[in-house]
Amino acid sequence: MFPLHPWMLIGTAGGAIPIIIHLLNRRRFKTVRWAAMEFLLASLKKNYKRVRMQNLLLLLLRVLIIMLMAVALSRPMLPQSGMFDAIARPGRHAVIVVDKSLSTRYQQGDQTTFDRIQSVAGSIINSLGEGDVVSVLGMSDIVEPVIEEPTSDLAQARRIVERMNPGWGGSDVRGTLEAVADLLERTADEKPRKDVYLVTDMQASGWGEKDQPPSDELAAALEKIGRSAGLFVVDKGPAVRHPENLAVVALETDSNVIGVGRRVTLTAKVHNFGTAAQRQVDVNFFVDNFNQGERRIEEIEPGETESVAFSYSFNEKRPYLVHVRINDDLLPADNVRYLALNAGDAIPVLLINGRVADRPRDNETYYLERALKPPRGADERPLSNISPTTWDEFELAARDFDRFNAVVLANVASISDSNTVNRIERYVRLGGTLIVFLGDRVSVDSYNTQLFRDGDGLLPAELGDESVIDPETARGRHLIFERDPTYPGFRTLCDVSREILEKFVVFTGHIKAAPVEGATVAARFEGGDPAVVAKSYGSGEVILFTSSAGTAWNNLGDTGSLMMMMHELVGQVAVGDIDRRNLIVREPYQHIFEPGTRIEQVRITPPGDLGRPASLTPFDQDRAPRIVFEDTRIAGPHKLEFSMRAGADPMADEYFSVNPDPEQSDLRRYSMEEAREILDGFEFQYTTDAEELHLRVKESRSPRDIAQALLFVVLGMACLELVLGRQFGR
């Protein structure tokens, strides 16, 4: 027996109080002999033994009442046994955490790791006794409440655990322990004894880095668990600490724009997460589930990534589903990677010419046109899948530009019409891209008033004074790219392109700019002034070049650098579409349709599942329909089917793909000591043996809280003392 509040046992000393009172009462009487008392003494001698027994009985009852009251207040706990079961309230709450991360799909003989975890969870439930309750949580990237409210229906709990399946995401031990602590706190009054069983494969990535100290939230969670429960960590991972594993970690295209009839190079990257070299790795390439070829990687060293390329021509304007697959190993789940693409027409780009000249070469958009649509190659195939259209600046207010993927303002003097400004804002907010080149015709005041609006408008920076150098008397400035740019439009610029831009392009003029908070400065001039500033606006993007697109302030067009840079930026429009179609597990899928699209319903079918409708919601005041699908916990291709309203043009089915996070393919495992170090020395019981765990569960059968039973005994004894006291006249 052990008390939960041992300091309350001090009250047992109060059992001496009735004895002390009894002794003091005896000392109060003085013996005086006189003749008449002899007759009374003779009578008392006949009843002496009976009276003495009555007094001792009352004294004993009063002592026991006080002592048992103190013991009851200390919350005494007794091990389960047949005798104690009859008088005590049952009291164990078992919380079972089932690891269902991607790594539990690892094959161990004829079972996966998850099969073994599932078996252990069932064994724990079988070990629970009558009156015990159980909760079950699934551990992946997020904590999944499988049985959140404690249930005493152990048979139903076993059936639920048997129906669980492994997931495709990672695991988060720290976050799970915080969720467990919250569960224990919410169910504090459910049962007096609580045990937590974390059944896992001990994958290192799920526990976090060893040099990462516990957060305040985790430290508080561990304190709660340690105060109210015992923690068992059951390791059912592979026998080795660093299992071998190959994984396809990427599938990429050489072009962000997939044009019909253009040959595209797709590159698959295979990483060796193990400790031994892997040889003769076959990589198969599929388009719409038809095998298009095989390549072999002769050897991949431990910790290294090897790439293999495939070339394919998408000859129809429609969505495509591409995937690559390598030889099966003990973790087949990461041996395949999907890529959803949409081969379509050329990307339409609108150029607004801010300087109209008699000679085409003097137009502000002359070099932009040639950069986006260079001459055809020797085989007469177009070298670009971008289709530029040029308007004069007055046409911007009079014509509809919603059909263009990007709009480029080139040295446009001003946009004073508020209706045009509102239309541009709406266009960008719904996913369009606005690229702004400044120049000597730009009205800084007009741009700040109409397009910047104290940071609430489109421009990512407030414009300042012109900074112009006379090339006859001073050397021009060079462009300096940020060495770790966060803006994706420059992330893929190759070293050669950057070298040309930084060494051979000379700028003689620009307009100073002060970026707003949250904007990205992708490039600066020598001296530090921003050259390229970008920011998101709604679902779209705004990119500001503080110099010109023509040759008035730089030689971008003469060096060919403009072509490389514009293809990167306009290609980024297509990257947004590729990123939207290709997700990591748990990333939400979102698509905003053009305003007026008459969609009745969108049905999404995950792999191996039945289709389910996705909710359509208006995106903004323009009532553009939008779908958001957050249930992307299953890896593989997802099919979208569109039901249109009566009279609307049909829409072809589309795909988006969901792939596992490559970090989850690293199967390195922590030992008990390493796990304890991560939890800052928190004590837990660790085992790998199911039989040993079964014995520990049996040994830890919940002690019984007998406080309530003792209080009933005290109440009964008090009633008995009252009745006897009146009966005995005392």
What is the pLDDT, as a whole number, of residue 274? 95
Rounded Cα gap, residues 196 and 94, in angstroms: 6
Tokens encoding 250: 């990427």
- Three-state DSSP class for residue 719: helix
Rounded Cα gap, residues 10 and 13, in angstroms: 6
What is the pLDDT, as a whole number, of residue 345? 66
Question: Which amino acid, one-letter code, is at 173?
Answer: V
Task: Return the bridge partners of 468, or none.
Answer: 509
Going by C-beta distance under 8 Å and a sequence separation of 6 or more, which residues neighbour residue 313? 261, 262, 263, 264
Is the Cβ–Cβ distance between 320 and 298 less than 8 Å? Answer: no
Q: Is the dihedral of CA 577, 579, 585, 587 positive or negative?
A: negative
Main-chain phi, psi angles of 491, to 5 degrees: -65, -35
| Spans of the chain, pLDDT less than 70 | 1-5, 15, 22, 24-49, 77-91, 190-192, 345, 374-384, 471-503, 571-576, 594-596, 609-612, 614-624, 648, 651, 690-705, 729-730
What is the pLDDT, as a whole number, of residue 42? 63
What is the pLDDT, as a whole number, of residue 389? 92
Tokens encoding 159: 């059936």
What is the pLDDT, as a whole number, of residue 718? 83
Going by C-beta distance under 8 Å and a sequence separation of 6 or more, which residues neighbour residue 81? none
What is the pLDDT, as a whole number, of residue 706? 73
Helices and strands of the chain, counted as H and E runs? 18, 37
What is the pLDDT, as a whole number, of residue 483? 47
Is the Cβ–Cβ distance between 581 and 342 less than 8 Å? Answer: yes
- Residue-wise pLDDT tens digits, 116-173: 999 999 999 988 888 889 999 999 988 999 998 999 999 999 999 999 999 999 999 9
Task: Say if strands 193-200 and 92-99 run parallel, antiparallel, or are unpaired.
Answer: parallel
What is the pLDDT, as a whole number, of residue 494? 44
Is the Cβ–Cβ distance between 70 and 33 less than 8 Å? Answer: no
305-313, strands of its sheet edge to edge: 246-253, 263-272, 305-313
Q: Which residue has the tokens 């001296």?
A: 527
Main-chain phi, psi angles of 36, to 5 degrees: -65, -25
Q: How far is CA 661 from the centre of its chain?
A: 11
Rounded Cα gap, residues 232 and 112, in angstroms: 22
* 433-to-170, 234, 341, 513, 539 alpha-carbon distances in Å: 34, 52, 20, 20, 9
- Residue-wise pLDDT tens digits, 244-289: 999 999 999 987 778 787 789 999 999 999 999 999 999 999 999 9
Going by C-beta distance under 8 Å and a sequence separation of 6 or more, which residues neighbour residue 412? 352, 354, 393, 396, 441, 442
Is the Cβ–Cβ distance between 191 and 134 less than 8 Å? Answer: no
Global pTM value: 0.72
CA angle 524, 525, 530 (to 5 degrees): 45
